[in-house]
Chain A
Amino acid sequence: MFFNSIDFAIFLPIVFILYWFVTNSNIKLQNFLIVIASYVFYGWWNWRFLSLIFFSTVVDYTVGRRLRIEEDKAKRKILLWTSILVNFGFLGFFKYYNFFLDNFITAFSFFGFEIKANSLNIILPVGISFYTFQTLSYTIDVYKRKLEPTKDFVAFSAFVSFFPQLVAGPIERATHLLPQFYKKRTFEYSKAVDGMRQILWGLFKKMVVADNCAVFANQIFNNSANLNGSTLVLGALFFTFQIYGDFSGYSDIAIGTSRLFGFDLMRNFNFPYFSRDIAEFWRRWHISLSTWFRDYLYIPLGGSRGSTWMKVRNTFIIFIVSGFWHGANWTFIVWGVLNAIYFLPLLLTNKNRNNIETVAHGFFFPSIKEFLFILLTFGLTVFAWIFFRANNIGHALSYISEIFSASLFAIPKFTRMKSALTTIILVTAFVLVEWKGREEQYAIAKFFLKRKIVMRWIYYLTIVFFIFYFKGDKQGFIYFQF
């Protein structure tokens, strides 16, 4: 079920009413309802893959229970690895089987061995990377004794399958989300209104910004061989805003929806395109994944401690794994490597934590220096997105080589250029609103809050107007495929 669908517009109020009125604030009933609603939400897409979620839930719940009573270190390790192998086994099969098989065959054929094996026609279960990482965080934290294993199977099922963030995150930590399922939830008016506001802004990001940019990004990337350098730059820019609008829009809707049910999800985006260096960008982009890798991979590997070689090794590992998490394609790995290359100089010169505060804190305009660093970081990010969006490495390289040709200075030219102008104007307005609200949880969190209700509502109705009249052709959420 897509957040921007009629199905969800009907589903959400039904679940909301049942949740607050029928369950009579009984936690067990509420959790049970969340599980049912979440399974319906996921099953709407493909009910057969519900068995995977259920199986992961049962395995991790059982492993957690056993870890509670098991004191023997070796046995505890076996339990942990059981969970890791089961979860990564599913992920590996559904997401990476064909990739490894194809590369294995290619590698052997390079040395003159011919191996015959057929790729499988595998459907990737939506959101498998998200819920796998979420449920693994539980087992790892229980193993490390950071979290008391739950006895409540329904609460744990609700934690694994919580529908607002099931298919595209934020990837929650068990330590943060699971305890919320034990506590009595009471309806908070201000929290619910804030949730609605965030949903509205998320819909704007997705339907107006991302879906409009997607049309032109797809058109330009799919025909890049016939287009000039300046058009390709425009294509990369369209994709840059498409992926941000798409993914951060989804996160906003997920967080907002959770708030309607009395839950707080972690923040996933913090205005990443206003970052002054790549380290800051990675503190602000897909925060739930970056911090997951930091806590469960980077730090156990030694993090930024140890020799220079260790720092370099760990940085490359975390960025490559992060790239590979996105998909079974070399393009994602190169995207990860590129980001590691961007990040390393900052790490090695101890400048990776230079920009912690929001840019131009307390001012409207940034300083010239800040502005130039934002531009540089943005440029590097756009460049890396080319690999992320390209169909394969060859495509990315030919795309980039055309950009760095004389045609970069030609006038952009592609079909429907006039319609693209509307999108460019919309994106510019969007960037200005985001800039204005960059110190908040989401851009419009505090807009007009001090004004009278009439002014506020006119403002919200204007956003509705933009969603209604300027929405682009409906596209799926990019991150569903991860």
Chain B
Amino acid sequence: MKKFIKKTILFLFLAVVFIEILSGIIVFTKLYLIGCPGNEIYYSIEKSKRKNKSKILLIGDSVGNQLFSNRTNNDGINSLACNQAIGVVGQYLLLNNYLKTGNKIEKAYMVLTPFSFKNNLDQVFTYHYFLKPFYSSEYDSLFTETVKQQIKKIPYHQFTKIPHILVTTWAPKFIPTKEVNYTFLSPISIEYLIKIKELSTKHNFELTILPTPTSSQKRELIERFDTNEFAKADLAQEFENYFNKIIYLDSIEFYDGTHLIHPENYTVKYKNELVK
């Protein structure tokens, strides 16, 4: 019995050491970026720090990424679109990186589903998709008090950079707040939309927020959004045409209710919108 317990403990200890060393190697060589869920975010971060001559920049969520992949050349449209889970704050950080690198743009498009603005960093995905890539000293000064408070609510937020946590999809069980007093725009989204607006004024580029094609099943839900929310936040101008431009499609066009089965069918239409 003692032999069994001793050996089991030793094996578990070795397994932990083995995993931690391997994880360290994987972090160092950035191997974890291959195929890990959310790798598109890391790719966008890296891309946002690269020099680029394109005058049109696109940021957005995963549907935006379907329409304009961040890994391909989109006829002069530089896409950093990746995932809704990074919230509008993540979109801001990518845009800020891009401008800080010295890139000049004339137009910036933010392509997000109507539901992406509700993200207040309180989702089950926040840990893996936002905290792991962005919660570091590099971005600390860019976080508002609201963001910092929200991060503190997520268990184990301080451990995101531990190698074996960083390289796997592990995330703590986190139950998002069910009762919120907004229908469309979360407090964090408001704060960072304003910051994005400020960047557009400072760097002199035109900012347009565009919706992604959306399932007609969600139409009723979207029509119930309180439009006063963006008026109150002084964002009425930015959202002036957003809802009118939503292309409602039959639900069979989506494989999970949100993501398009054939995004290529809509890319050209969007390109025309972007380059006109």
Contacts and interface: CB of A to CB of B under 8 A. Distances in A.
Interface residues of B, number: 22
Nearest to B260: A415
Given A219-B255, A461-B18, A468 B168 contact: yes
Given A189-B3, A468-B168, A415 B35 contact: no
A226 B18 contact: no
A469 B4 contact: no
Nearest to A464: B15
Contact of B1 (A20, A415, A471): A20
B169 interface: yes
Interface in A197-252: 219, 222-223, 225-226
Contacts of B169: 471, 473
A420 to B, nearest CB: 11
Given A465-B19, A468-B168, A192 B11 contact: no
B233 interface: no
B1 A469 contact: no
Contact of A222 (B14, B15, B255): B255
Given A20-B1, A468-B164, A461 B15 contact: yes
Contacts of B1: 20, 187, 189
Q: Is the interface of B mostly helix, strand, loop or mixed?
A: helix
Nearest to A469: B168
Interface string B10-40: 0100110011001000100000000100000
A196 interface: yes
Given A457-B14, A468-B168, A189 B4 contact: yes
Contact of A460 (B11, B22, B167): B11
B259 interface: yes
A460 B7 CA distance: 13
A193 interface: yes
A460 B12 CA distance: 11
Given A187-B1, A226-B255, A469-B167, 11 more contacts: A189-B1, A189-B4, A196-B8, A223-B255, A226-B252, A226-B261, A415-B261, A464-B19, A468-B168, A469-B22, A471-B169
Interface of A: 20, 187, 189, 192-193, 196, 219, 222-223, 225-226, 414-415, 418-419, 422, 457, 460-461, 464-465, 468-469, 471, 473
22 contacts: A20-B1, A189-B3, A189-B4, A193-B7, A196-B8, A219-B256, A222-B255, A223-B255, A223-B261, A225-B252, A226-B261, A414-B255, A415-B259, A419-B35, A422-B35, A457-B11, A461-B14, A461-B15, A468-B19, A468-B164, A469-B167, A471-B169
